[in-house]
Amino acid sequence: MSRGKPDTDANKALSVEHERSSVWGTLFVFGFFGLFGVAGAVAFYFLTIQPLWDVYRASSWVETPCTVLSSAVETHPGDESDTYSIEIEYEYVFQGQRYQGDRYHFMVGNSSGRKWKQAVVDAHPVGHQTICYVDSAKPSEAVLHRGLTVDMWWGLFPIPFLAVGIVPPVLMLRGKRKNDVTSGLAPATTNLVTNQSSDLPELSSDGPVTLKAASSPWGSFIGSVIVCLFWNGIISIPISEVVQSWRDGDPEYVLTFFMIPFALVGLGIVAWMVYAFIALFNPRPTLTISRGSIPLGETAHVWWSFQGSTYSIRVLKLTLKGVEKATYRRGTDTHTDEETFYEEVLSQHDQAFDIASGEVDVTIPADSMHTFKSDNNEIVWSLHLTGDIPARPDVNAIFPIKVVPHQGGER
């Protein structure tokens, strides 16, 4: 068993540690990456929001007979590859007046994928009688196909630009949260230091208690499956179009290049799912503590054991941690930051016999803060059990414990 008393600085509360960052640096980050964000937002509007909104609006438009006047696939030469667009003109009569329209669908601009566009044009030869959909409030506005189309997957194109424009500034704001004392944080911090145990349960007199882990390996695995099905389900259609274009000998180079980052993310999510699945077969730790509540400055006894073989674990470590969480508002957003103010290694073993089961004392520092929770601040004490397993997911379990004020109210 090894114990290490944290230094004075490590025991400082999160809310009193501040480090001012450069204003010019902040302005540069927001200005530089903001350009990407603005470009991504504009593209996202025209390629995603506007077409989807038009699809929604057209769901109530009136079905009207129309006649095709001209029909062709127009080629738009590019530096690396050509793009194509559907050009169909049609005529219709609505409320006794004759109109002409040229909109096939609601996607704007040109895109790769000539094959499906040619199929649309072939299905609408000159003189063909078909149905168009007319806006009764504005009869000059009509469309032949009012639903979703294959090229609407280009609406994913602005997402990387939005990510580049949003993620770095957000990360900077998260870093600055430790440095900014907001009007909502300061009063809450004062309350954190002075509030006594009126909101906490009375000190329990029960015997040994089996602790419950904060999260389950099954939870992580199920979460990874849901994310994997959602993400890869979305990108499966455009990827299938890419694969089919290569099989047909007419590769969609632009779409292929565009889908590469999305496919890589999908593969990463699959890897995460496999990792979470393998973790299900790790030995499951059980922690039992001699008392349900530990007063500041007092000691409890902890036993650990495992369900399943522990021979794969090379090093086992049990650590006591105290974490402060501060929640506050900046503008319309709510942020939560956390800082470890106390950390002590209670036990560390590399021998198989000692890893399988063992026991150790845990003493809560008398000059620290008890378990606490309010609207803005929270003090959380927990035992972290980690087991190093080569070439496999490690054992990593967190067991919250309850720390109460000194018995008799003495500090």
One domain for residues 205 and 300 = yes
Note the pLDDT tens digit of each residue in 115-157: 889 999 999 999 999 999 999 999 999 999 998 887 777 777 7
One domain for residues 334 and 354 = yes
Please state, in angstroms and rounded to a whole number, the distance separating the CA atoms of residues 178 and 34.
Answer: 23
Q: How far is CA 402 from the centre of its chain?
A: 30
Please state, in angstroms and rounded to a whole number, the distance separating the CA atoms of residues 48 and 155.
Answer: 5
Does 103 reside within a domain? Answer: yes
Answer yes or no: are the C-beta atoms of 1 and 346 closer than 8 Å. Answer: yes
Does 202 reside within a domain? Answer: yes
One domain for residues 196 and 345 = yes
Domain boundary residue, one of 279, 295, 318? 279
CA torsion sign, 244 to 248 to 249 to 255? negative
Nearest alpha carbon to residue 115 among 144, 91, 77, 82: 82
One domain for residues 115 and 80 = yes
One domain for residues 321 and 257 = no
Q: Please tell me the predicted confidence (pLDDT) of residue 171.
A: 65
Residue 346, SS3?
Answer: strand
Note the pLDDT tens digit of each residue in 129-139: 999 999 999 99
Note the pLDDT tens digit of each residue in 351-396: 988 999 999 999 999 988 889 888 788 899 999 999 999 988 999 9
One domain for residues 53 and 71 = no
179 burial type by CB count under 10 A (0-12 exposed, 13-18 middle, 19+ buried): exposed
Please state, in angstroms and rounded to a whole number, the distance separating the CA atoms of residues 176 and 23.
Answer: 11
Of 51 and 252, more confident: 51
**DSSP structure string for 183-250:** TTHHHHHHHHHH--GGGSPPPP----EE---SS-HHHHHHHHHHHHHHHHHHHHHHHHHHHHHHHTT-
One domain for residues 122 and 70 = yes
The residue to which tokens 């054992």 are assigned: 395
The residue to which tokens 């290490």 are assigned: 4
Answer yes or no: are the C-beta atoms of 288 and 208 closer than 8 Å. Answer: yes
Note the pLDDT tens digit of each residue in 315-337: 999 999 999 988 777 655 677 78
Pairing of strands 357-363, 333-349: unpaired
Does 1 reside within a domain? Answer: no
Q: Please tell me the predicted confidence (pLDDT) of residue 69.
A: 96
Does 2 reside within a domain? Answer: no
One domain for residues 118 and 163 = no
Please state, in angstroms and rounded to a whole number, the distance separating the CA atoms of residues 237 and 259.
Answer: 11
One domain for residues 49 and 74 = no
Domain around 110: 64-145
* Domain count for the chain: 4
Q: Please tell me the predicted confidence (pLDDT) of residue 229.
A: 82
Domain boundary residue, one of 279, 299, 324? 279
Does 331 reside within a domain? Answer: yes
Answer yes or no: are the C-beta atoms of 101 and 143 closer than 8 Å. Answer: yes
Please state, in angstroms and rounded to a whole number, the distance separating the CA atoms of residues 395 and 313.
Answer: 8
Tokens coding 214? 């904060």
Please state, in angstroms and rounded to a whole number, the distance separating the CA atoms of residues 51 and 278.
Answer: 42
The residue to which tokens 């650590």 are assigned: 319
Residue 380, SS3?
Answer: strand
One domain for residues 195 and 245 = no
One domain for residues 236 and 332 = no
Does 341 reside within a domain? Answer: yes
Domain boundary residue, one of 279, 294, 329? 279
One domain for residues 337 and 400 = yes
176 burial type by CB count under 10 A (0-12 exposed, 13-18 middle, 19+ buried): middle
Does 3 reside within a domain? Answer: no
Strand runs labelled E in 103-260: 129-134, 142-143, 209-210
| Average confidence score pLDDT of the chain | 80
Q: What's 364's domain CATH number?
A: 2.60.40.640
Is the model's pLDDT at 262 over the cut of 80?
Answer: yes
Name residues whose C-beta falls within 8 Å of residue 161's C-beta, 6 or more positions apart in sequence.
36, 37, 39, 40, 43
% of the chain exceeding 90 in pLDDT: 36
Q: Determine what percent of the chain falls in helix, strand and coil, rounding each to the nearest 5.
A: 40, 30, 30
Does 4 reside within a domain? Answer: no
Q: Please tell me the predicted confidence (pLDDT) of residue 349.
A: 93
Answer yes or no: are the C-beta atoms of 178 and 19 closer than 8 Å. Answer: yes
